[in-house]
Structure 1
Amino acid sequence: MRTKGTLTSWNEERGYGFISPISGGKQVFVHIKAFKNRSRRPELGHIVTYNISSDQQGRPCAANATLTGDKLREQDKKKTGAAFIAIAVIFFGIVGAAVLVGKLPAIILVFYLALSLITFGAYALDKSAAQKGAWRTQESTLHFLSLAGGWPGALIAQQKLRHKSKKESFRFVFWVTVALNLSGFFWLFSAKGSETLNFLLQNIQRG
């Protein structure tokens, strides 16, 4: 039989919390893996429906949990996720076009692609660590990778892995890093930016 309750405790970093049954009684432990649809992250106050199960120690816990409204919002979430991924794809298209017409050296495209792959991997490792309760990647590291040029990979990872896509404080800083990186990227098209880039590349080739 399905039970309904309110999520009254949630540890986002460790991926678990407690549900208070609406009918009363003791709180029930729930892990992020118990949620069938992970299109959005659980938050305090969410109404949850679930089955009562037990863990390996015989303690009661929630299983097959769903957040109220998930089915209604799933399509909207997919559209939003696709839009964010499209931003990353369009950016790579812009960089590629700039390389083809000779406005930027090919190393810039290689740099963004490589750093995006590294950043995607960092997000994947962090999510895996969160689910296992292992050592996490610091948020400052993820932000540094985005600032350096890995933000397209971060954007794709947030949507594909459903990781760091809901935490408002993290996303605010993330978009600041995107804005700063894009400012630097478009500065490369200016006379001063082009001159500086050529100077750096020449020194790298010599050294």
Structure 2
Amino acid sequence: MPIPASPKRYQGEIVEWNGDKRCGFVAPRGSGPGDPVVFLPASSLRNRRRMPKVGDTVVYETVTIEDTPRNRRLRTKIRAERVDYLGDDPPAPKANRKTESFFATLGGVFLALQAGTCLLLYGSIFILASSVGFSLLAAILYGWDKSCAQTGRRRVPEATLHWVALLGGWPGAALAQMLFRHKTQKPSFRAMFFATVFLNIALTVAAFLFLPSIGLMDRWKALEHG
């Protein structure tokens, strides 16, 4: 059995990767040339949807490799464990994954309902256009923010992400969170995101009911008195 070398998480760069053998080596970042590389098996990567490549920056823990004849052929006695790409959120708990899936599905249903309403009420098309446009913008911003997190560039302010969600982009934001595994862990961010979702839904329903250009409420009253 491998013996834990340290609970500390390290940062390093993948310097070799063999796709056929599904393994490679990581060079600890900030170390001198005499420091050993770390063995990286594919099974240690927690994001299985992404193909590793030379130059990727990863964050990992280490264990000492068991001393066996086969393992002695490796150039290092240290193996990387619980490996995440820099900028990736750690794997979310099962409850969080269900929440992400729920909101992504809710966003799709919400846009579909708006599209269906547009077929009946032409005046509501600007609301659908706003939701679709801001959803695309949200997805782009989430993707850009994750890229910035991975490369150390300036991040997209959280306030910007929340405003885009509130203005109608939350369906795209919810889908981006699930697909990119980004912004799924920080409790304060998620609480604010959920608030923007429900507030936008409430405002959208109010717009459909009371805006003169749509006037669902007026139409219902007219039908009742007709």
TM-score band by shorter chain is 0.5 to 0.7
- Give the match for residue 137 of structure 2: 118
Give the alignment's Cα RMSD to 1 decimal: 3.6
- 8 A contact 2:148–2:154 mirrored in 1: yes
Find the partner of 1:37 among 29, 43, 46. Answer: 46
* 1:188 match: secondary structure: helix
Pairing 1:46-125 to 2, within 5 Å after superposition = 50-51=62-63, 63-65=80-82, 79-102=98-121, 104-125=123-144
1:141 aligns with 2:157: no
Q: Percentage identity across aligned positions?
A: 30
SS for the counterpart of 1:182 is helix
Contact kept in structure 2, 1:28 and 1:62, CA below 8 Å: no
Gaps of 5+ in 1: 6-19, 22-26, 40-47, 53-60, 199-207
Offset at residue 114 of structure 1 (A) = 1.1
What is the TM-score with the length of structure 1 in the denominator? 0.63
Structure 1 residues 188, 90: closer, same or farther in 2, change over 3 A?
same
Aligned residue identity for 1:4? P
Tell me if structure 2 keeps the 8 A contact 1:143–1:173. yes
CA contact (8 A) 1:38 1:162 kept: no
Distance in 2 separating the partners of 1:154 and 1:171:
11
Q: What is the alpha-carbon distance in structure 2 between the residues aligned to residue 105 and residue 125 of structure 1?
A: 31
The answer on whether the counterparts of 2:63 and 2:81 sit within 8 Å (CA) in structure 1 is yes
CA distance in 2, matches of 1:3, 1:182: 52
- Going from structure 1 to structure 2, the CA distance change for 1:186 and 1:3 (only over 3 Å counts) comes to farther
Aligned twin of 1:55:
none
Q: State how far apart, in whole Å, the 2-side matches of 1:93 and 1:167 are.
A: 29
Asked whether the 8 Å contact 2:124–2:214 carries over to 1, the reply is no
Cα deviation, residue 189, structure 1: 2.3
How far residue 49 of structure 1 moved from its aligned partner, in angstroms, is 5.9
- Would the alpha carbon gap of residues 31 and 171 (structure 1) be closer, same or farther in structure 2, given more than 3 Å must change? farther
Q: In the alignment, is the contact (CA less than 8 A) between 1:36 and 1:64 conserved in 2?
A: yes
Give the distance between the partners of 1:172 and 1:32, measured in 2 at CA.
Answer: 34
Instruction: Give the alignment's TM-score, normalised by structure 2.
Output: 0.58
Please state whether the residue corresponding to 1:137 is helix, strand or coil. coil
Higher helix share: 1
CA distance in structure 2 between the aligned counterparts of 1:32 and 1:156, rounded to whole angstroms: 29
Gaps of 5+ in 2: 15-39, 49-59, 65-77, 85-89, 216-226
Q: Which structure has the larger Rg?
A: 2
* Alignment partner of 2:147 out of 125, 128, 138: 128
- After superposition, give the CA deviation of every residue in 1:101-140 in whole Å (9 maximum; x if it has no partner): 2175222212211110001100000011011111001001
Which residue in 2 is equivalent to 1:154?
173
- Between the two proteins, the alignment pairs up a number of residues equal to 158
Amino acid at match of 2:80: A
Pair 86,3 (structure 1): closer, same or farther in 2 beyond 3 Å: farther
